[in-house]
């Protein structure tokens, strides 16, 4: 069976805390876009550490993208296998923040839990850039919207997806770089005590 890494809620909290100052150093996000479902909890925790005294909380928008499907006969109910295409299950609801035009000239932080093949992140960045570019053209503005990425884990492997070089060089933050292992996040656990025991057992080894 493939190696599994068990990550606890406290691990996630501390990873967000650790990376927040690096994000703030040269990118003060105006908006976070959490890729669901794995990006939701990290985005919310990260927001607490990105909060600046005297400034309002950074709004979090959710998008739903799905690449992985449970394999009926994989022999391991927890491990999922990659699909081939990204399915959009939810997209930005900008009506709460005005309209898409409000993203023009802003800094947007995209949050997901893991960068595996990079297919999902590539899709998210491309589609968000497309929407923003449309809004920019409509406004006749020359203001650029900047994107940054935060993930808890980046798997060090051959990627299928590609990201703009500017993001890779300056605005890509992974709290941990790991091998090609399966990571079990706490929000997926059906028995959180057992999950935490597994995490502690791995630490004790
Ligand atoms: P990518 O598009 O980078 O291949 O995959 C991104 C999505 O695949 C993640 O958002 C996550 O839902 C799922 N995924 C990939 N690897 C893992 C893993 O090791 N553990 C879990 N829980 N999900 C994963």
**pLDDT single digits (tens) 81-117:** 666 688 888 888 766 655 677 889 999 999 999 999 9
The yes-or-no answer on residue 116 being catalytic is: yes
The domains of the chain, with CATH numbers, are 10-178 (3.40.50.2020)
CA-nearest residue for atom 24, ligand 1, is 114
User: How many angstroms is it from 143 CA to the middle of ligand 1?
Assistant: 33
CA-nearest residue for atom 12, ligand 1, is 38
Whether 69 has a pLDDT exceeding 60, the answer reads: no
Say which residue the tokens 């028995």 belong to. Answer: 191
- Pairing mode, if any, of strands 172-178 and 182-184? unpaired
Q: Which of the residues 116, 131, 156, 196 is marked catalytic?
A: 116
Q: What's the mean per-residue pLDDT of the chain?
A: 90
Pocket of ligand 1 (CB under 6 A): 38, 67-68, 82, 112-120, 182-183, 185, 188
Which runs of consecutive H residues, i.e. helices, occur in 35-159?
Answer: 40-50, 119-139
């Amino acid at each position: 069976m493939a190696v599994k890494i068990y990550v606890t809620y406290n691990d996630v909290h501390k990873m967000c805390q650790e990376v927040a100052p690096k994000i703030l150093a040269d990118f003060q996000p105006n908006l976070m876009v959490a890729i669901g479902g794995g990006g939701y909890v990290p985005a919310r925790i990260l927001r607490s550490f990105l909060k600046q005294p005297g400034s309002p909380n950074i709004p979090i928008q959710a998008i739903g993208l799905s690449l992985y499907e449970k394999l009926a006969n994989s022999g391991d109910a927890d491990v999922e296998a990659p699909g081939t295409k990204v399915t959009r299950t939810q997209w930005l609801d900008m009506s709460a923040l005005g309209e898409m035009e409000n993203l023009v000239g802003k800094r947007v932080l995209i949050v997901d839990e893991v960068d595996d093949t990079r297919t999902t992140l590539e899709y998210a960045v491309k589609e968000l850039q497309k929407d923003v570019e449309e809004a920019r053209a409509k406004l006749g503005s020359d203001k650029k919207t900047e994107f940054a990425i935060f993930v808890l884990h980046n798997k060090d492997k051959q990627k299928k997806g590609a990201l703009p070089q500017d993001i890779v060089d300056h605005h890509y933050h992974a709290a941990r770089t790991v091998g090609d292992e399966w990571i079990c996040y706490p929000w997926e656990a059906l028995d959180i005590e057992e999950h935490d025991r597994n995490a502690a057992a791995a630490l004790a080894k």
